[in-house]
Protein backbone atom coordinates (compact mmCIF):
# COMPACT_ATOMS: atom_id res chain seq x y z
CA UNK A 1 0.00 0.00 0.00
CA UNK A 2 1.44 3.36 -0.96
CA UNK A 3 1.14 6.59 1.01
CA UNK A 4 -1.83 7.90 -1.00
CA UNK A 5 -3.77 4.65 -0.51
CA UNK A 6 -3.04 4.76 3.21
CA UNK A 7 -4.19 8.40 3.40
CA UNK A 8 -7.38 7.54 1.49
CA UNK A 9 -8.11 4.58 3.79
CA UNK A 10 -7.58 6.81 6.85
CA UNK A 11 -9.85 9.53 5.43
CA UNK A 12 -12.59 7.00 4.69
CA UNK A 13 -12.29 5.55 8.20
CA UNK A 14 -12.49 9.02 9.78
CA UNK A 15 -15.64 9.78 7.77
CA UNK A 16 -17.10 6.40 8.79
CA UNK A 17 -16.40 7.16 12.45
CA UNK A 18 -18.01 10.59 12.16
CA UNK A 19 -21.11 8.97 10.61
CA UNK A 20 -21.11 6.19 13.21
CA UNK A 21 -20.87 8.75 16.02
CA UNK A 22 -23.86 10.67 14.63
CA UNK A 23 -25.79 7.40 14.30
CA UNK A 24 -25.16 6.58 17.99
CA UNK A 25 -26.07 10.10 19.11
CA UNK A 26 -29.34 9.82 17.20
CA UNK A 27 -30.17 6.36 18.55
CA UNK A 28 -29.26 6.82 22.22
CA UNK A 29 -29.90 9.61 24.77
CA UNK A 30 -26.32 10.86 25.04
CA UNK A 31 -25.18 14.21 26.37
CA UNK A 32 -21.69 13.62 24.97
CA UNK A 33 -19.96 11.08 22.73
CA UNK A 34 -16.39 11.65 21.60
CA UNK A 35 -14.73 9.04 19.39
CA UNK A 36 -11.71 9.51 17.16
CA UNK A 37 -8.85 7.72 15.45
CA UNK A 38 -5.52 8.25 17.20
CA UNK A 39 -2.31 8.96 15.33
CA UNK A 40 -1.38 5.26 15.57
CA UNK A 41 -4.75 4.08 14.26
CA UNK A 42 -6.64 3.13 17.42
CA UNK A 43 -10.27 4.05 18.07
CA UNK A 44 -10.23 6.21 21.20
CA UNK A 45 -13.31 6.72 23.34
CA UNK A 46 -12.71 10.13 24.90
CA UNK A 47 -16.18 10.61 26.35
CA UNK A 48 -19.51 8.85 26.77
CA UNK A 49 -22.05 10.69 28.90
CA UNK A 50 -25.58 9.30 29.11
CA UNK A 51 -28.36 11.84 29.59
CA UNK A 52 -29.13 12.09 33.30
CA UNK A 53 -32.78 11.05 32.88
CA UNK A 54 -31.74 7.79 31.14
CA UNK A 55 -29.01 6.51 33.45
CA UNK A 56 -29.44 2.99 34.85
CA UNK A 57 -31.26 1.95 31.65
CA UNK A 58 -28.32 0.07 30.04
CA UNK A 59 -27.69 2.87 27.54
CA UNK A 60 -23.93 2.79 28.24
CA UNK A 61 -23.87 -0.99 27.80
CA UNK A 62 -25.65 -0.73 24.46
CA UNK A 63 -23.33 2.03 23.25
CA UNK A 64 -20.19 0.07 24.23
CA UNK A 65 -21.59 -3.05 22.52
CA UNK A 66 -22.12 -1.07 19.31
CA UNK A 67 -18.70 0.60 19.49
CA UNK A 68 -17.08 -2.80 20.08
CA UNK A 69 -18.88 -4.32 17.08
CA UNK A 70 -17.85 -1.35 14.90
CA UNK A 71 -14.22 -1.71 16.05
CA UNK A 72 -14.25 -5.46 15.42
CA UNK A 73 -15.71 -5.02 11.93
CA UNK A 74 -13.00 -2.46 11.13
CA UNK A 75 -10.18 -4.36 12.88
CA UNK A 76 -9.57 -1.48 15.31
CA UNK A 77 -8.22 -1.61 18.82
CA UNK A 78 -10.25 0.54 21.26
CA UNK A 79 -8.38 2.63 23.83
CA UNK A 80 -9.73 4.70 26.71
CA UNK A 81 -9.02 6.08 30.15
CA UNK A 82 -11.99 5.94 32.54
CA UNK A 83 -12.92 9.21 34.19
CA UNK A 84 -12.62 10.06 37.83
CA UNK A 85 -15.64 10.45 40.11
CA UNK A 86 -17.74 13.31 38.77
CA UNK A 87 -21.47 13.70 39.43
CA UNK A 88 -21.90 16.04 36.44
CA UNK A 89 -20.67 13.32 34.06
CA UNK A 90 -22.41 10.51 35.93
CA UNK A 91 -19.18 8.87 37.08
CA UNK A 92 -19.88 7.41 40.50
CA UNK A 93 -16.66 5.41 40.81
CA UNK A 94 -13.58 4.99 38.64
CA UNK A 95 -13.19 1.40 39.92
CA UNK A 96 -16.78 0.65 38.89
CA UNK A 97 -16.03 1.99 35.40
CA UNK A 98 -12.89 -0.15 35.09
CA UNK A 99 -14.90 -3.23 36.08
CA UNK A 100 -17.63 -2.23 33.59
CA UNK A 101 -15.15 -1.94 30.70
CA UNK A 102 -13.34 -5.16 31.63
CA UNK A 103 -16.69 -6.90 31.20
CA UNK A 104 -16.44 -6.00 27.49
CA UNK A 105 -12.94 -7.43 27.11
CA UNK A 106 -10.90 -4.34 27.95
CA UNK A 107 -7.47 -5.02 29.45
CA UNK A 108 -5.56 -2.85 31.92
CA UNK A 109 -2.56 -1.28 30.20
CA UNK A 110 -0.09 -2.37 32.87
CA UNK A 111 2.23 -5.19 33.88
CA UNK A 112 2.63 -7.92 31.26
CA UNK A 113 -0.12 -6.28 29.19
CA UNK A 114 1.62 -2.88 29.08
CA UNK A 115 1.66 -1.30 25.63
CA UNK A 116 4.13 1.57 25.69
CA UNK A 117 2.74 3.03 22.45
CA UNK A 118 -0.35 4.30 24.29
CA UNK A 119 -0.92 6.32 27.45
CA UNK A 120 -4.52 5.15 27.93
CA UNK A 121 -5.17 2.91 30.93
CA UNK A 122 -7.43 0.38 29.16
CA UNK A 123 -7.51 -1.16 25.70
CA UNK A 124 -9.49 -3.80 23.83
CA UNK A 125 -8.06 -5.68 20.88
CA UNK A 126 -10.41 -6.42 17.97
CA UNK A 127 -12.21 -9.77 18.04
CA UNK A 128 -12.17 -11.67 14.81
* Number of other residues whose CB lies within 10 A of the CB of residue 101: 22
Does residue 39 have a pLDDT over 50? yes
Q: Domains in the chain: how many in total? A: 1
Which residues form the domain of 28? Answer: 3-124
pLDDT band at residue 7 under the 50/70/90 scheme: very low
The CATH number assigned to the domain holding 10 equals 3.40.630
pLDDT tens for 52-96 read: 999 889 999 999 999 999 999 999 999 999 876 556 555 567 888
Angle at 99 between CA 104 and CA 105, to 5 degrees: 20
- Please calculate the CA angle 83-69-18 and round it to the nearest 5 degrees: 70
Amino acid sequence: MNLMELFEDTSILKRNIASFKEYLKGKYPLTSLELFITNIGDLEIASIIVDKSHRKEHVGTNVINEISAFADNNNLRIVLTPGIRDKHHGTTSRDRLVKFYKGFGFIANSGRNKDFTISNTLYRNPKR
